[in-house]
Amino acid sequence: MVIGRALFPRIMGWALPISALGSRVETEPMRPRSFPREPGAVRTMHKLEEAAKRLAELRQERAQISAKRSTSDFTILDALDKDIVEQERVVAALRGTPWARAYDLGVRWRVSASPQCLVARFEARIVFDAEFDMGLTAAGQPAGQDNATGVITIREWIEFRYGDPSDDYLSTHPLYGAGLDYYQAHIVENSVWLQEVCGRTRRPAVSGVNRMHVVLTFKPGIVECICGRIHAHCERRSVATVAQANASEVWTE
């Protein structure tokens, strides 16, 4: 039996478009369906691109000024360093990755300060050489800075560590380039370590206090911990005297 050309494709289980039987009309290939992005995601992506571009410009500007090796540019470099750190925080926050947010304890330590860590169960105190603001003179002018001893009290800590890197190798820390700065207190946002520690210990919050990832950058090393509360104060006594007094309090509780 002779099968007509029009019936042959139907018998074999496939068929051409009707238009193809008469004239050869090219059909467009199937394309994957594209879904429009959410407006919020588009705005975030645009902000991230702009922030990353601004960060690259600041770093390039700093490299150009630093290449001049002029002592008169130190003030400009310091200002640029602060701008770069702030922009690093913006970029990391938009990306949703871990970043270090500056945290004001009300007390600042000197660049040369070496912390004495007094660690007991669930509480730690850090004693260091601090900068003390002497306020204003009778004429209303800043009186400058005087020596004082600072004490940082860390409560309800789960994990605590002190050690490398020092300020010479701060760039080796995972948070460097994401807001980590020299000689400063930080709270880490989107902390992976915080999630790991809380998930591993399964310890409930004490009195409903949320845990936080704290990073304190000193010259000889970094204090880093997962804790519930942190605060600081200054004393007009020597570091040795304050450290001895706090040691007797912490280790006898």
Quick: pLDDT tens for 193-226.
Answer: 998 887 776 655 444 458 899 999 999 999 999 9
Q: Are residues 58 and 162 in the same domain?
A: no
CB-based contact 128:107 (threshold 8 Å): no
Q: For position 108, what pLDDT does the model report?
A: 92
Q: For position 248, what pLDDT does the model report?
A: 87
Q: Are residues 243 and 173 in the same domain?
A: yes
Q: Is 99 left (phi over 0), alpha (psi -120 to 50) or beta?
A: beta
Q: For position 9, what pLDDT does the model report?
A: 44
Q: For position 18, what pLDDT does the model report?
A: 41
Q: For position 206, what pLDDT does the model report?
A: 43
- Give the total number of structural domains in the chain: 2
In which element (H, E) is residue 216 found? strand 212-217
Estimate the share of the chain in helix, then strand, then coil, as percent rounded to the nearest 5: 40, 25, 35
Q: Are residues 173 and 137 in the same domain?
A: yes
Closest C-alpha to 124, from 223, 236, 240 = 223
CB-based contact 63:57 (threshold 8 Å): no
The percentage of the chain sitting over the pLDDT mark of 70, rounded to a whole number, equals: 73
Domain end (from 96, 126, 143): 96
What is the pTM for the complete model shown?
Answer: 0.75
Q: Are residues 202 and 79 in the same domain?
A: no
Domain around 223 = 108-250
From first to last of the 253 residues of the chain, give the pLDDT tens digit.
444 544 444 444 444 444 444 444 444 555 555 545 566 677 788 899 999 999 999 999 989 888 877 666 788 888 999 999 999 999 999 999 999 999 999 999 999 999 999 999 889 999 999 986 544 444 544 445 566 899 999 999 999 999 999 999 999 999 999 999 999 999 999 999 998 887 776 655 444 458 899 999 999 999 999 999 999 999 988 999 999 999 988 877 5
Q: Are residues 90 and 151 in the same domain?
A: no
191 assigned to some structural domain: yes
Q: Are residues 83 and 163 in the same domain?
A: no
Domain end (from 76, 96, 116): 96
129 assigned to some structural domain: yes
CB-based contact 130:106 (threshold 8 Å): no
Q: Are residues 53 and 130 in the same domain?
A: no
